[in-house]
């Protein structure tokens, strides 16, 4: 059985209205991750993901800068149990 890790990332900065969620979904699908990305009312983006440790590390590195129009200020990472993420493809949540 493959090792899976999961985390919740809260991304701060100019991360809404810059195609952040769509870009993170594209990367997550390419990395084989499951989870979701959604805008929060306070201007942050929440990214919840689960998958192989190497893919999760790549996602975390990407979140530090995001897509070209984003200006990431800080990324907070909180570990989660992989079962808490659920199954299916990575989605954009509302």
- Residues 62, 25: Cα–Cα separation, whole Å: 12
Let me know if 8 is a catalytic residue: no
Enumerate domains of the chain plus CATH numbers: 5-92 (3.30.70.100)
pLDDT of residue 87: 83
**Residues 21, 25, 34, 44: which is the catalytic one?**
21
Let me know if 39 is a catalytic residue: yes
- Residue 1 in this model has a pLDDT that exceeds 70: no
- Residues 15, 23: Cα–Cα separation, whole Å: 11
**Residues 8, 14, 38, 39: which is the catalytic one?**
39
- Prediction pTM value: 0.95
pLDDT of residue 11: 98
Mean pLDDT of 64-93: 94
């Amino acid at each position: 059985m493959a090792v899976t890790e999961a985390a919740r990332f809260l991304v701060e900065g100019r991360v809404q209205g810059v195609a952040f969620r769509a870009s993170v979904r594209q990367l997550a699908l390419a990395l084989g991750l499951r989870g979701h990305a959604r805008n929060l009312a306070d201007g942050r983006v929440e990214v919840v993901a689960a998958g192989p440790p190497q893919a999760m590390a790549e996602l975390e590195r990407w979140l530090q800068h995001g897509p070209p129009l984003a200006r990431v200020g800080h990324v907070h990472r909180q570990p989660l149990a992989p079962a808490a993420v659920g199954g299916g493809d990575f989605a954009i949540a509302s």
